[in-house]
Amino acid sequence: MLPRDPDMLVSYLNTKLRDEYASLPRLFDDLDEDPEEILRTVSDAGYAYDSEKNQFRPAAVKKSASQKPVAVDDFCRLKFLSQVRFSPKGSSACFVVSEIDRRKDEYRSFLYLLRGGKAEKLTAFGKESSFIYLDEDTLLFPGKREEAADKELPDVSSRFYKLSLKGGEAQLFLTLPIPAFRPTPLPNGDLLLLGDTFPGFEDLYEGKPKRLAAWQKFAKENRDYEILEQVPWWWNGHGFTKGAYNSLFRYSAASGKLQRLTPPGENVQDYKLSPDAESVFFLSTPVRPLLPIAGAGELKQLRLTDGSVKLLAKSREDFELADFAPADSFLLVLASDVKHGLNSDPDFYKLDYESSELKLCARFGESIGSSVGADIRYGGGRSLIMQGDVCWFISTRFDGAGLYKLENGRIEAVTNRPGSVDCFDICGKKILMTGLFDMKAQELYDEKGRQLTHFNQAALRGKYVAQPKPLNVLRDGYEVHGFVLEPKDYDPGKKYPVILDIHGGPKTVYGQVFFHEMQYWAGRGYFVIFCNPTGSDGRGAFSDLRGKYGTVDYEDLMAFTDAALAAYPAMDKKNLFETGGSYGGFMTNWIIGHTDRFKACASQRSISNWFSMYGVSDIGVGFTEDQALSSPWQDPEKLWFHSPLQYADRAKTPTLFIHSFEDYRCPIDQGYQMYTALIKHGVEARLVAFRGENHELSRSGKPSHRLKRLNEITEWFEKHRS
């Protein structure tokens, strides 16, 4: 495998050209790597091939001078990869590729097949965002390709299509009377599925026309009302729940009917089939009156042979269930000790199938999955897979997300490179990963780290992509780790404006991945600086920010900003700007009440008042009590102390507020309150609110809205530059 470091790569190639190969084409003929990717890598590093000398030499011109800046709409030209999965025997793999349709102002998703080293497009409808393999040559995916018979009546049915990999069009395979998802095939041709249950119409799954008509009549008559009987009553990105919850069902191939496997009033969060296909394990919670934010609940085993249910484990104050995975010899259980509240990371436990005894398998205390921030993803995929008795999983460590495995109580790294493994699958010794590596957009990689696809090569060809320069600050015995992006055509003798970008979460990280908005600003001549303050992910207890919001994290961010200004004299501290979203929006609101060092700020999808956050957000009750270590009744003074709104009368910084009307995570009233407070105290402010968008505006909002958002922020900074 070729070296990843560009300078080492050039040294390797020059040695080969000097000692073994008379020309570059002959060398490329013997390499498995893509020649265009190699040339792009060395070109971006400032080297060019000299055919007369048969060597790579430093380019005669500064590398960024001949490159174009990343454009504001370049994210619209990218492809987004997700949901990679091998066929049962590994002869092929399928994955989802999503793209942006500028004309329709929407995202379109397609199924692609990887077979024989080549990726080919399987579907063209543009709505295929998930799938499963029924067998080695057949895919099953959900969709609605036929129009409803009566558009005036709400349609709650779900349809699944079957597609043969031997050729032909997708065929409608089955129609179910309720919203159903997450199908899992059983050996006899049946399917396990999760499906929606509606209060008062728990029997809707039976498919009786009269019950469907009654539900449609009820839904139509009550469409102007919301009746709340549980908390939370809405979810970001989904709207009002109307009391609906998930139940586990079995679809009979013989009868074409659904069978309910879990009782009404029990919400199934997740389920997984045992290796012998005789049992299904599931994590569930009571529906009312209070649903947990995530995890918790009870872990149960349902035997498919007789329908019997057995309680295996349940959450308690010092033991919170997070995930589970059936192995050949045991059930792997992930649970945290809750020492760091909601953000506690899990350890691994083994639950014996026969005795149901639960024993600690391995201390871990690190996150599962990738929390590396990026704005060029769309769609998800698996982050934990059991193969035999070996667990493979993605974990965020420090500032990157890699692949790890747990075997016989020992955890070891499988990949070790900067960036992020976003999702993966494994079959035998073969691994496929979608990832963000080498400051490129998403591509597909194999177990050796070789890039298998080049969906995004053309979109970024010839563009200046700033490489993150590490910058670390030592504070009180711990390190604040961050990065600097140098502006295009950077000249140390000139002065450049600076943007401090603060991540969300707070339990996420900034790492060495392509971030479109940051690259856009670097291309426009800004330094972009970003770091991982206290509260960030990837470092165990470092993520514990409970009861400290706006204190140590604020000090970390200011210390990092000071260090960046000191390290780069070309940074113009008179033109210092700041922005952030979600937790980063909270910090923006906090910053403007505690310093006037920034020329202008942009607060996005923020928190400003923990009191009103408590009663409105979809995670407000549990999240506020946990993170602020208070409630409106327990310690209101502390809740107010950590609310940026308290300090808004001190603000002097011109501030732009970005919010969305359907943001139920950090509801729009949070932006309204802070904006109004600034106007009240004579501070220049502007609020831009987006209809039809939620908390995910910057990542999966309508393309036109994402462009509007980024232009608003950039123009706000440009307006206030001196």
Query: End-to-end CA distance of the chain, in Å?
Result: 49
Collect the ranges in the chain with pLDDT lower than 70: 1, 4-8, 44-46, 59-64, 148-151, 291-295
Supply the angle between the helices 703-720 and 516-523 in degrees, to the nearest 10: 40
pLDDT tens, position by position, 630-653: 999 999 999 999 999 999 999 999
Give dist(CA 392, CA 718) in Å, integer: 47
Give dist(CA 61, CA 65) in Å, integer: 7
The DSSP element (H or E) to which 711 belongs, if any, is helix 703-720
In whole numbers, what is the pLDDT of the chain averaged over residues? 94
pLDDT at 1: 65
Q: Is 598 left (phi over 0), alpha (psi -120 to 50) or beta?
A: beta
8 Å CB contact between 386 and 325: yes
pLDDT at 55: 87
Give dist(CA 589, CA 530) in Å, integer: 17
In 3D, which of 70, 62, 42, 5 has the Cα closest to residue 490? 62
CATH code linked to domain 460-608+643-720: 3.40.50.1820
DSSP for 413-432? ES---SSEEEEEEEETTEEE
pLDDT at 22: 82
Burial class (CB in 10 A: 0-12, 13-18, 19+), 127: middle
Distances (CA, A) of 666 to 237, 305, 580, 662: 12, 45, 13, 9
Q: Omega before 232 cis (within 30°)? A: yes
In 3D, which of 631, 597, 595 has the Cα closest to residue 611? 631
Domain spans, the chain: 6-60, 460-608+643-720
How many alpha carbons lie under 13 Å from residue 404 in its C-beta half-sphere?
20
pLDDT tens, position by position, 393-439: 999 999 999 999 999 999 999 998 999 999 999 999 999 999 999 99
DSSP state of 211: H
Structure tokens at 195: 């499906």
pLDDT tens, position by position, 347-392: 999 999 999 999 999 999 999 999 999 999 999 999 999 999 999 9
Give dist(CA 573, CA 23) in Å, integer: 50
How many residues comprise the chain?
A: 722
Burial class (CB in 10 A: 0-12, 13-18, 19+), 389: middle
DSSP state of 314: E
DSSP state of 70: P
Q: How large a percentage of the chain has pLDDT more than 90?
A: 84
8 Å CB contact between 469 and 482: no
pLDDT at 689: 98
Structure tokens at 125: 């409808």
8 Å CB contact between 472 and 123: no
pLDDT tens, position by position, 304-344: 999 999 999 999 989 999 999 999 999 999 999 999 998 89
Phi, psi of 234 (to 5 degrees): -145, 160
pLDDT at 677: 98
